[in-house]
Amino acid sequence: MATLKKLGILLSGRGSNFEAIADSIKAGRLQAEIAIVISNRADAPGLESAKRRGLNAVLIASRGRVREEHDADVIAALHHAQVDLICLAGYMRLLSPHFIQAFPNRIVNIHPSLLPAFPGMDAQKQALEYGVKITGCTVHFVDEHLDNGPIILQKTVPILDGDDVNSLSARILEQEHKAYSEAIGLILSGEVEIVDRRVLRKLSRSEGR
Ligand code: GRF
């Protein structure tokens, strides 16, 4: 049997995307293993959840620390765990360029809007206030700029007349939980490649020639 690819999960809070990834693995929908879960916050519910699941769950506190020094500790832990792919799952820290260069095209993030619309904080509120009729979520590679790297997968969510931030966020979150595992599966299977900014299926590219 082929060895399973190793995931490193970085989170700061609730951790529902982490839990959805862990559930996908448990259910056999995603062929991977979670080698390490790192939280930068001691009070992150996601950290407790990872411990309850018996995973290698580590606190590397960031408060009051210089970004580069904190990142260096996180990088060392990820190297030690020999991760193949790093998944940001509600990780509320900007990564230093050094971090991104340490794992080229090996860091992914999920964002609750259809990027490039509504990057940054409160993406669901931004979409609601702007008045768009369709929003959703995006799984993308991480580069030096905020919510900017090549897009792996997106799922759409309609905005209903009666929506408020809570109801909209909940419907987007349902799609996030599906999208993240799907995107990770695509990357780990080696079926996709990055061409300029586009993430393309290798198969369909050769068929299209
Ligand atoms: C999600 O909405 C995700 O898209 C954003 O942060 C939130 C994290 O939620 N990056 P959770 O901690 O995974 O429940």
Q: Hunting for tokens 């509504």 — which residue is that?
A: 118
Same fold, 1-103 and 109-209: yes
Residues in the chain: 209
Instruction: Confirm whether 140 is a catalytic residue.
Output: no
Ligand 1 geometric centre to CA of 89 (Å): 6
Give yes or no for a contact between 70 and 60, defined as CB atoms under 8 angstroms apart.
yes
Q: Which of 70, 79, 80, 111 is catalytic?
A: 111
Q: What is the pLDDT of residues 116-170, one digit of tens each?
A: 999 999 999 999 999 999 999 999 999 999 999 999 999 999 999 999 999 999 9
Per-residue pLDDT tens over the stretch 62-114: 999 999 999 999 999 999 999 999 999 999 999 999 999 999 999 999 999 99
Residue-wise pLDDT for 31-61, tens only, equals 999 999 999 999 999 999 999 999 999 999 9
Measuring from each residue's beta carbon to the nearest atom of ligand 1, which residues come in under 6 Å? Answer: 11, 13-17, 46, 89-90, 110-112, 176
> Where in the chain are the domains?
1-103, 109-209
Superfamily covering domain 1-103: Formyl transferase, N-terminal domain (3.40.50.170)
Ligand 1 center to 90 CA (angstroms) = 4
Q: What is the topology classification, in CATH, of domain 109-209?
A: Rossmann fold (3.40.50)
